[in-house]
Amino acid sequence: MSSAVLGLATLAGAQVLMLNFRNTGGPSSGNLTNSPYNTENPGFADTTWNNVSNSDVGSGLFWADGTAATGIGFDLGVANLDVSTVVDLSTAVGSANNLGTIVNTGIYAGDSIATGGIFNGSTTDRFELGLQVTGLTAGTYEVYVTGRNTNANNSATLPYTYYASGGVSGANFDFADYDSASVSFSGSTDATAAWVEAGNADANYGKFIVSISAGEALNIVSNGDGGQGTGGSPVGTANRGFLNSVQIVAVPEPGTWALMFGIAVFVCVVIRRKLA
């Protein structure tokens, strides 16, 4: 493939934002490419992770290729399921931790992007984590979400449901009607061998296709309570939402792929003529 085609392919895949939530540090070595998106797209080689904590970020983020993600930021918030399914962006997320004292093998080993995380409250609280990403251009995005308490070793099933949708930038949001993806974990070695999308056996991440309009934000929720009903936990013992990592991938417009295909065909024709 010519440098022109390679350049266009790089441009088409450049808009990937990777957020790693933890207290300190970040992935290194093989863990830089140990992620849901890398599993679905093995050829993806960009490795710039934004290692962030439990505070809002208004600027200074980077795309996965290392270029500045100018204008991109995020706000964090909390939904108290004892009250409602509305994420309040004015409620601070209380904790960031590198975690991993119990779940730390396979894809969770070492400084994995799915090991550390952010959360709010104590084990008896029904506080679910909300993330609002602002500044994205209008278009369609693939969204990959991981959320798990890797300090928990529970023989009972711990269910997590992730949500994603477009929404009003800067406004609190109700995730009750959002698209959702559910996973569940039992014990420290459950669903640790490989990245598996929600809806399959041994699943450990959620994937969404979300379209946003100009000026809209991307809203994401990690709910560790096994549902979204208020007034009582459906799993008996309340479980907080944990957010470990998020990958946001811009889906190229159909015209971009058509142009790439056209250039590739043209290059092949030129090469064949030169070799003839």
Closest among 99, 97, 101, 105 to 190, alpha carbons compared: 105
Where are the chain's structural domains?
Answer: 16-254
3-state helix, strand, coil in the chain (%, to 5): 15, 35, 50
Q: How many angstroms separate the CA atoms of 34 and 19, rounded? A: 13
- Asked if pLDDT for residue 225 goes beyond 50, the answer is yes
* pLDDT at 186 (0 to 100): 87
Residue 176 DSSP one-character state: T
* pLDDT at 91 (0 to 100): 97
Q: What is the mean pLDDT of residues 100-109?
A: 96
Report the predicted TM-score, pTM, of the whole model to 2 decimal places. 0.87
In 10 A of CB 234, how many CB atoms? 12
Predicted confidence band of residue 259 (pLDDT cuts 50, 70, 90): very low
Residue 193 main-chain phi, psi, to 5 deg: -75, -35
Closest among 52, 244, 255 to 139, alpha carbons compared: 255
Residue 107 main-chain phi, psi, to 5 deg: -70, -10
User: 236: Cβ–Cβ under 8 A, 6 or more apart, which residues?
Assistant: none
Residue that has been written with the tokens 């790089």 in this structure: 10
Residue 169 DSSP one-character state: T
Q: What is the pLDDT of residues 113-168, one digit of tens each?
A: 999 999 998 877 889 999 999 999 999 999 999 999 999 876 667 889 999 999 99
Residue that has been written with the tokens 């992935």 in this structure: 27
Element (H, E) at 12: helix 3-13
In the chain, pLDDT over 70 holds for what percent of residues?
A: 80
Q: Environment class of residue 7 by beta-carbon count within 10 Å: exposed (0-12), middle (13-18) or buried (19+)?
A: exposed
Predicted confidence band of residue 45 (pLDDT cuts 50, 70, 90): very high
Element (H, E) at 79: strand 73-80
